[in-house]
Chains A and B, each alone.
Chain A
Amino acid sequence: MKRIVTATVINQSGVLNRITGLMTKRQFNIESITVGHTEKEGVSKMTFVVNVDDNAKIEQLIKQLNKQVDVLKVTDITDQAIVVRELALIKVISNAQIRSEISGIIEPFRASIIDVSRESITVQVTGNSDKIEAILDLLRPYGIKEMVRTGITAFPRGSQKSVTDLKQYSILN
């Protein structure tokens, strides 16, 4: 099962190495990983998507990450109400004739064309992974020359009203 885990870390050199190394050592498959600054100076946030077999395994991952000296907080936010965003850049084969057709396809996705050449256009789309999969499906028939995805970044919504099954990884309860 896929889990979304975020970790706030002190922005020290080597911290990314320690964390990815730990995941390799403990045999966790990282599907995607994003890192960037947060509102606090010197603090970065990592968002991982990992594929695990069961809850015990994800609990172990969280505990191992928490043990790292430079890691401040680790949370599995999969089951919380969260905002998730990923960005994809998609270079689609397209000549002048079908440019407007593609433009029409991507419009409902609130994607935009950010580069145009004689043989291709580049589409930028943001959203959750499902949305990106959907637009990719629609564009694939035209021929995708190149595609990159950032991997997701996420955090809990300001209000947690829609929470259903809040996972608690405290071992004290």
Chain B
Amino acid sequence: MNMRAKAKPEAEAVTAEMTGADVLIHSLKKENVEVLFGYPGGAVLPIYDALYRSPIKHILSKHEQGSIHAAEGYARVSGKPGVVIATSGPGATNLVTGITDAMMDSLPLVIFTGQVASTVIGTDAFQEADIMGITAPITKHNYQVRDVQDLPRIIKEAFHIATTGRPGPVLVDIPKDVANKTISPDYDSTIHLPGYQPTFSPNILQIKKLADAVGAAKKPVILAGAGVLHANAGKELVAFSEKHRIPVINTLLGLGSYPGNHPLFLGMGGMHGTYTANMALYECDLLISIGARFDDRLTGNLDHFAIHATVAHIDVDPAEIGKNVPTQIPIVSDAREALKKLLEIESPLPDTEEWRKKLTQNSEDFPLWKKVSTTEFLPQRVVELVHEYTKGDAIITTDVGQHQMWAAQYYAFADANRWVTSGGLGTMGFGFPSAIGAQLAFPEQTVVSLTGDGGFQMTLQELSTLQELNLPVKVVIMNNQTLGMVRQWQEAFYEERYSQSLIPVQPDFVKLGEAYGIKSFKVTNEEEAKAVFEEAFSHREPVLIDCRVSGKENVYPMIAPGKGLHQMIGVKP
């Protein structure tokens, strides 16, 4: 028996009569979808059969979680919607973490799940799960297609909702019989969403109010989040901050929206942000938040957050304004539109010289610091070396935890859309698959999956996807044989009771990588690392590097839980 897939025939012309599955594939083409991330199964057999006749590229992961994180990575760096297909029941439930992650970090995804046939929905049929109920709170919107005639319209609406306003995941659940049904599709049906009218342009009176506040401010600061990246507003942000000489702080997810080497840049704010950034947030008299949502990891204790400041909040999502922090100047708008209007408006320039002098002094007195050691291989050095060997221009993906914070602190992102991390949900296992997705979006870019030994082992099955695609993703495992951030908190707050956080027994990552046909190295000190990085980053092929770093390092500085921005610990060695 010949088990090899038959060569794909030419793309089928649109015929009058098509199955629902064909309609889906044809609609995807109309949405300019170039790549699908998915995994087949019983309820999506009709869709995969239609896909067989289509030239759209499909990336087969090894677990649906790998598919959706890859789609998130793709969406994060490209700005285009990531498209995912999974089967009913377990296929769909395996997506849940990724959908929530995309919801929290506002990533545009369109997810198609198979569903059991309409006739048996609600009977606990084989591989049935109520994915509509399960995903209602974690999607921007979801649909179950009851009538195949609605499919073209629903797909149009799904892409529209996912990519406009505040981006987010939209799920379309397709029962198997709907996918099989033959119809003459009507692609001309228009989007009709009377309840979904996102605001795009700001209210000009509010812009004037903000411009006046800027003119009067003595200690203004801008907090730039991922909304700046989604709106592609980097240039306008630089222009605005330079025109008014206002220092800029990034949120974790906003890194790259402002050049990391700009003299007005104060670094990242929040729990492991810089002293300068956090003290600026604490002491400022005008806080202009743009596309950021005042996450608790950024604000620390709200009783101490920007207490002396007039707060202006520019956000495309009105519900974020005033949610956590009382706001005096609310502006519902796309970040770019608002910044453009702010640049157009005539307004007095604030005198910020004294303020900036003070902040510069803070930066000099309390810079990010790390141990210097000739004997230990310090994890922060791995980030610095990756920065050096990628000339600071790589796409970096991470999971959550210590390695994520060190990457955020030490990579100094100079450009937008180079930083792919799980911020809101804090998902271990996110980084490696998202690197595959990011690499598919930008095949020529250097993509580095900076990961920990814990997070990597949650989705390492995707090594096989990497092997198949032969993408030049560099997997750099910052291996400290612990769940570093858990260990750090146990050290600081649980009297060093390292409950289930030390993992001395682990696979031989080099052999593991080699088992998947991927060039793999183990490095135990800086010299070895330099030699291996030199080699790894000069070839366009996948590489895995197991960096055996010190297991005792902690991320500093830090705001302990419940404390305010001005109560940072570990600001000095």
Contacts and interface: CB of A to CB of B under 8 A. Distances in A.
Interface of A: 9-10, 13-14, 17-18, 21-22, 25, 56, 59-60, 63-64, 66-72, 171-172
Nearest to A10: B195
B132 A64 contact: no
B231 to A, nearest CB: 18
B30 interface: no
B137 A66 contact: no
A126 to B, nearest CB: 31
A60 B322 contact: yes
A60 B193 CA distance: 22
B323 interface: yes
User: Top 5 nearest A-B pairs by Cβ distance?
Assistant: A63-B319, A69-B141, A171-B330, A69-B196, A72-B195
Contacts, number: 55
B9 to A, nearest CB: 38
A25 B103 CA distance: 14
Contacts of B206: 172
A10 B194 contact: yes
Contacts of A9: 195
Interface string B313-339: 000011101110010001010000000
Contacts of B330: 171-172
A21 to B, nearest CB: 5
A53 to B, nearest CB: 14
A56 B317 CA distance: 16
A13 B144 contact: yes
Given A17-B136, A69-B195, A171 B142 contact: no
A72 B318 contact: no
Contact of B140 (A13, A64, A66, A69): A69
30 contacts: A10-B194, A10-B195, A14-B132, A14-B133, A14-B144, A17-B132, A21-B137, A22-B137, A25-B137, A56-B326, A59-B322, A60-B319, A60-B322, A60-B323, A63-B318, A63-B319, A64-B319, A66-B318, A68-B195, A69-B141, A69-B193, A69-B195, A70-B195, A71-B195, A72-B195, A171-B318, A171-B321, A171-B322, A172-B203, A172-B330
B533 to A, nearest CB: 45
Given A59-B322, A172-B203, A172-B332, A72 B194 contact: yes
A59 B322 CA distance: 9
A60 to B, nearest CB: 6
Contacts of A171: 318, 321-322, 330, 332
A69 B322 contact: no
Of A59, A71, A172, most buried by chain B (CB within 10 Å of CB) is A172
Contacts of B136: 14, 17-18, 21
Contacts of B203: 172
Given A17-B132, A172-B332, 4 more contacts: A17-B133, A22-B137, A69-B140, A172-B330
Interface in B136-153: 136-137, 140-142, 144
Main SS of chain B's interface residues?
mixed
Nearest to A8: B195
A67 B193 contact: no
A123 B161 CA distance: 49
Interface string B112-138: 000000000000000000001100110
Contacts of A18: 136-137
Contacts of A10: 194-195
Nearest to A72: B195
A22 B140 CA distance: 12
B33 to A, nearest CB: 21
Nearest to A22: B137
Contacts of A68: 141, 195
B338 to A, nearest CB: 13
Contacts of B196: 69
B317 A67 contact: yes
A171 B136 CA distance: 27
Contacts of A22: 137
A85 B110 CA distance: 43
Nearest to B199: A172
A65 B400 CA distance: 31
Contacts of B332: 171-172
Interface in B150-195: 161, 193-195
Contact of A67 (B205, B319, B322, B326): B319
Nearest to B323: A60
A67 B141 CA distance: 10
Interface in B184-233: 193-196, 203, 205-206
Contacts of A13: 144
A70 B326 CA distance: 28
Contacts of B193: 69
Contacts of B205: 172
A67 B199 CA distance: 11
A22 B139 CA distance: 11
Contacts of B144: 13-14
A119 to B, nearest CB: 40
Nearest to B203: A172
A49 to B, nearest CB: 21
A142 B528 CA distance: 89
Nearest to A169: B318
Nearest to B198: A67
A72 B573 CA distance: 56
A63 B318 CA distance: 7
A89 B2 CA distance: 72
A56 B194 CA distance: 26
Contact of B142 (A14, A59, A60, A66): A14
Contacts of A63: 318-319
A17 B131 CA distance: 13
